[in-house]
């Protein structure tokens, strides 16, 4: 197989993110993963919604679809079903993926398509200048919550596990080697691989800094990856920030299920059709 240069994956458009935005680490890790997996640019599709993070496909030399807010996953699943040979990666922000797009997250996890879903979580809506998102901590004052956030945040890791995702991990832009390693494992996983990537917004989130996030992060190790109950326990221990792979199981993908139906129709279709013609006497 051809050896590939990392430069092959750089898009013609240069990133427009603020300096030190966590999203740069995600982009760089993707370049490395594409090179290490020797993927040709025409074998990759990046699908996104709307937000700072959702600009990512513009910066990669591959197929890209910068769609509408929150609709990343149905588009990505349609592409994968139409051409299962492609490596399809959906990217979103926490507003896009856990706010307006939350229903798609749950239903896509249930269907288990062979998609990689990367949510760059900065705990706010950055592109629209810092409003509350579904992962913002309670009591935090934002431009849209002047009296502090009144709701509980959602727990994306627990939600993914309970919804049927077959690969669930948390990475952090401040630990790029781990991020690259988890992305490599996600690409190799045959099924819906979700990675919550804690990705600091240095412009609108003065609380979740690289320093504070690094201090509270720790790596999950020696862990029973198929144990759903243990994975949920770990997901709920939120005083510190666990990083790594929480859960991984194998079950059939929706592409495999659809392929079985198509093959059965090709095998049994003509005879069944003849029976129908006779029954309706057409
Ligand atoms: C249907 C719709 N509603 C609202 C918006 C306005 N809008 C643009 S980006 C965004 C949120 C982005 O937040 P997030 O997905 O977390 O991405 P980030 O910018 O933080 O990376 C919103 C609400 C929109 N573009 N379309
Ligand atoms: S506003 Fe925040 S999320 Fe958007 S590019 Fe700047 S640092 Fe990144």
Asked whether residue 261 falls in the same domain as residue 121, the answer is: no
Q: Are residues 192 and 102 in the same domain?
A: yes
48 falls within a domain = yes
Q: Determine whether 275 is exposed, middle or buried from the number of CB atoms within 10 Å of its CB (0-12, 13-18, 19+).
A: exposed
Q: Which parts of the chain register pLDDT below 70? A: 1, 238, 282
- Of all protein residues, the one whose alpha carbon is nearest to atom 13 of ligand 1 is 125
Nearest CA to 142 out of 213, 96, 134, 68 is that of: 134
Q: What is the pLDDT of residue 1?
A: 62
- What is the pLDDT at residue 282? 58
**Whether residues 268 and 201 fall in one domain:** no
Torsion angle (degrees, nearest 10) of CA 213, 215, 216, 220: 100
Model confidence, pTM: 0.95
- Say how many Å lie between the CA of residue 124 and the centre of ligand 1: 9
Same domain? 209 vs 256? no
For 96, which DSSP code? I
Residue 71 CA to ligand 1 centre (angstroms): 11
Domain count, the chain: 2
Tell me the CATH number at 123. Answer: 3.40.50.970
Pairing of the two strands 131-132 and 116-121: unpaired
199: helix, coil or strand?
Answer: coil
> Residue 1 domain-assigned?
no
Residue whose CA is closest, atom 2 of ligand 2?
A: 201
Mutate to test the pocket of ligand 2, among 126, 135, 206 (most ligand atoms within 8 A of CB): 126
Q: Which domain, by its residues, includes 276?
A: 252-282
Distance 27 CA to ligand 2 centre (A): 14
Residues with CB under 6 A from ligand 2: 17-18, 21, 23, 52, 122, 126, 201-204
pLDDT value of position 240 = 85
Looking at the fold, whether 236 and 122 belong to one and the same domain comes out as: yes
The answer on 243 and 256 residing in a single domain is no
Claim to verify: residue 90 and residue 165 sit in the same structural domain:
yes
Nearest CA to ligand 2 atom 5: 17
C-alpha dihedral sign at 160, 145, 140, 90? positive
Same-domain pairing of 244 and 263: no
- What are the tens digits of pLDDT across the range 182-237? 999 999 999 999 999 999 999 999 999 999 999 999 999 888 999 999 999 999 98
Q: To test the ligand 1 pocket, which listed residue (21, 27, 50, 123) has its Cβ within 8 A of the most ligand atoms?
A: 50
């Amino acid at each position: 197989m051809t050896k590939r240069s990392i430069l092959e994956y750089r898009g013609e458009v240069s990133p427009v993110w603020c300096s030190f935005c966590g999203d740069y680490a995600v982009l760089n890790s993707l370049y490395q993963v594409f090179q290490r997996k020797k993927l040709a640019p025409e074998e990759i599709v990046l699908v996104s919604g709307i937000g700072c993070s959702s600009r990512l496909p513009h910066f990669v030399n591959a197929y890209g679809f910068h769609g509408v807010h929150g609709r990343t996953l149905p588009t990505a699943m349609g592409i994968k079903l139409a051409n299962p040979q492609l490596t399809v990666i959906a990217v979103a922000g926490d507003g896009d993926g856990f706010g307006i797009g939350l229903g798609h997250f749950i239903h896509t996890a249930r269907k288990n398509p062979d998609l990689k879903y990367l949510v760059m979580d900065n705990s706010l809506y950055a592109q629209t200048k810092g409003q509350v998102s579904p992962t913002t901590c309670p009591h935090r004052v934002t431009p849209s919550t002047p009296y502090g956030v009144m709701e509980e945040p959602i727990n994306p890791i627990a939600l993914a596990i309970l919804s049927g995702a077959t690969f669930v991990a948390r990475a952090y832009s401040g630990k790029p080697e781990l991020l690259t390693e988890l992305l490599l494992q996600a690409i190799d996983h045959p099924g819906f691989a979700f990675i919550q990537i804690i990705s600091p917004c240095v412009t609108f989130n003065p609380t979740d800094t690289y320093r504070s996030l690094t201090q509270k992060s720790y790596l999950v190790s020696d862990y029973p990856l198929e144990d759903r109950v243990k994975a949920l326990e770990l997901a709920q221990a939120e005083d510190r920030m666990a990083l790594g792979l929480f859960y991984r199981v194998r079950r059939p993908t929706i592409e495999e299920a659809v392929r079985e139906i198509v093959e059965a129709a090709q095998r049994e279709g003509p005879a069944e059709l003849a029976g129908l013609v006779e029954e309706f006497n057409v």
